[in-house]
Amino acid sequence: MTALYWDPFDTTIDLDPYPLWRRMRDEQPVYHNDKLAFHALSRHADVEAATRDPRTYSSAYGTVLEIMTAEPMRTGMMLFMDPPEHTMLRTLVSRAFTPRRISLLEGYVRTLCAELLDPLTGEFDYVQDFAVQLPSRVISELIGVDPADREEVREEIDRAFHIEEGKGIINDVAIAAMARLHTYFREQVEARRKSPRDDLMSALVQAEVPTGDGARRLTTAEAADFAGLLVSGGTETVARLLGWACVLLAAHPAQRAELAADPSLLRNAVEEILRYESPSPVQGRTLTRDVLLHGTTMPARSKVLLLTGAANRDERAYADADRFDIHRRFDGHLAFGLGIHFCLGAALARLEARVGLEETLRRFPVWEVDHERAARLHSSTVRGYDKLPIAV
Ligand code: HEM
């Protein structure tokens, strides 16, 4: 038996981490990587308990291994905050980011899918031509980007996800694009303050929560940071989810045929795809105290990676966990996290995936993936396809 080594940056391991994740769950449920100095939890019960305990497992030092810091980050992004700051911000944005606002987008998502899919025939790249386009346009619509600015904003969003060999997601092109997006959102937020419209940005500046001596509203910087978080959290992940769906359904043609015949099965199928190939399988935390788990002490200030993707394949939680089954009955999965940081965009992601797949299957009930020419995208938090040529 070879020594157990897992590393989120190893592109070969990332192709199929599941055998290693199984060994980690069985042999070293508190894994330690000496080279990169982190612990990792992979069992469902442990990952779930940790996500529900933000006092011990802090997000304030960053949650993405590439950019985790020794001191709290203070970025203004709620993903990287602990209570009470997180609670206040999440309550405020939840006033604007309502299920109703999301459900109103269904018609728009469907029209957009038609616009993107109708011109495609023969051979095309499902990820580049469809899966990455859909979420960035939906986010622009949601935020309330002017139609005249949409193309430019979409290109900036693309650049914000530029990945450089050896540097990964943190590179000059991506940082400059994020900064320009932030400036754009600041200007837009300021404009909405002066003349509100019926859009998320206006709702964001109007939302307020009562405080002891009045009410608290979002500052311009906070609202712009939040718009930036929506862009970064809501684009990459949905693109990977649709890519995984395309690959999994091609590998399971009988299940694909069932979905094409009965789109009402898609809701559950989307949950199974999220469980089976979690687009964001690793969430970082920093310990605020010593933790003793399975006989190992993880000291305070340790970086701990919560392997939600491994937890979702834990046979302790799911029968025959490595089997892909769109009819699987299960209570839930960890692909959107849990607890206070539970994905704010989960309803939107589910909507985009369900409608995106329904519109795909309606036009192309059968396709084949060209695995030779497919390419993966690598970062420590997002896992999936960057290029996915298919023939319909
Ligand atoms: C399949 C698609 C998606 C996946 C797999 C996903 C996954 C996640 C996960 C795992 C978390 C928790 C992170 C943690 O605990 O550290 C999270 C948080 C978050 N997600 Fe998503 N996400 C998706 C789509 C979206 C979309 C479409 C949006 C926005 C429109 C979004 C916005 C957010 C935000 C704002 C948070 C931070 C919530 C907080 O800190 O309270 N996500 N997401």
Closest by Cα among 41, 97, 52 to 340: 52
Ligand 1 geometric centre to CA of 385 (Å): 19
Exposure class string for 263-280: b at 16+ Cβ within 10 A, else e:
beebebbbbbbbbbbbbb
Pocket-testing residue among 59, 204, 336, ligand 1, by greatest number of atoms within 8 A of Cβ = 336
Does ligand 1 lie within 6 Å of residue 284's CB atom?
no
pLDDT tens sequence across 105-130? 999 999 999 999 999 999 999 999 99
Does ligand 1 lie within 6 Å of residue 97's CB atom?
no
What was the pLDDT predicted at 166? 67
Does ligand 1 lie within 6 Å of residue 381's CB atom?
no
Query: Cα–Cα distance between 43 and 382 in angstroms, integer?
Result: 19
Phi, psi of 83 (to 5 degrees): -65, 150
Ligand 1 geometric centre to CA of 194 (Å): 30
Does ligand 1 lie within 6 Å of residue 204's CB atom?
no
Both tokens assigned to 213: 């001596």
Atom of ligand 1 nearest to the CA of 352: 27
| Position 5 in a domain | no
Helix (H) or strand (E) holding 208: strand 208-211
Query: Cα–Cα distance between 346 and 99 in angstroms, integer?
Result: 10
The vertex-332 CA angle with 331 and 336, nearest 5°, equals 165
What was the pLDDT predicted at 307? 98
Ligand 1 geometric centre to CA of 392 (Å): 32
Q: Residue 219 in contact with residue 359, Cβ under 8 Å?
A: no
| Position 6 in a domain | no
Ligand 1 geometric centre to CA of 236 (Å): 10
CATH code assigned at 308:
1.10.630.10
Q: Whose CA is nearest to atom 19 of ligand 1?
A: 343
Does ligand 1 lie within 6 Å of residue 78's CB atom?
yes
Atom of ligand 1 nearest to the CA of 59: 16
Q: Residue 299 in contact with residue 8, Cβ under 8 Å?
A: no
Could you list the residue range(s) of the whole structural domain that residue 27 is in? 11-391
What is the identity of the amino acid at 34? D
Atom of ligand 1 nearest to the CA of 226: 35
Contact residues for 170 (Cβ-Cβ < 8 A; gap 6+): 66, 67
H-state helical runs in the chain = 11-15, 18-27, 44-51, 85-96, 99-103, 106-117, 126, 133-143, 150-160, 172-194, 200-206, 220-251, 253-261, 266-276, 308-311, 346-363
Query: Cα–Cα distance between 172 and 167 in angstroms, integer?
Result: 9
Mapping DSSP to helix (H, G, I), strand (E, B) and coil, where does residue 21 land?
helix
| Position 3 in a domain | no
Does ligand 1 lie within 6 Å of residue 335's CB atom?
yes
| Position 134 in a domain | yes
Query: Cα–Cα distance between 144 and 138 in angstroms, integer?
Result: 10
Query: Cα–Cα distance between 66 and 8 in angstroms, integer?
Result: 10
Residue position matching structure tokens 């862009």: 231
Does ligand 1 lie within 6 Å of residue 279's CB atom?
yes
What was the pLDDT predicted at 1? 67
What is the identity of the amino acid at 224? A
Ligand 1 geometric centre to CA of 309 (Å): 14
Ligand 1 geometric centre to CA of 95 (Å): 17
| Position 1 in a domain | no
Atom of ligand 1 nearest to the CA of 350: 1
Task: Name the CA radius of gyration of the chain, rounded.
Answer: 21
Does ligand 1 lie within 6 Å of residue 234's CB atom?
yes
Query: Cα–Cα distance between 66 and 61 in angstroms, integer?
Result: 11
Atom of ligand 1 nearest to the CA of 78: 40
| Position 303 in a domain | yes
Number of domains in the chain: 1
Query: Cα–Cα distance between 281 and 18 in angstroms, integer?
Result: 11
Residue position matching structure tokens 């693109």: 239
Length of the chain equals 392
pLDDT tens sequence across 316-367? 999 999 999 999 999 999 999 999 999 999 999 999 999 999 999 999 999 9
| Position 244 in a domain | yes
Does ligand 1 lie within 6 Å of residue 237's CB atom?
yes
Query: Cα–Cα distance between 207 and 1 in angstroms, integer?
Result: 57
Ligand 1 geometric centre to CA of 264 (Å): 25
| Position 267 in a domain | yes
Parts of the chain with a pLDDT under 50: none
Does ligand 1 lie within 6 Å of residue 345's CB atom?
yes
Ligand 1 geometric centre to CA of 343 (Å): 4
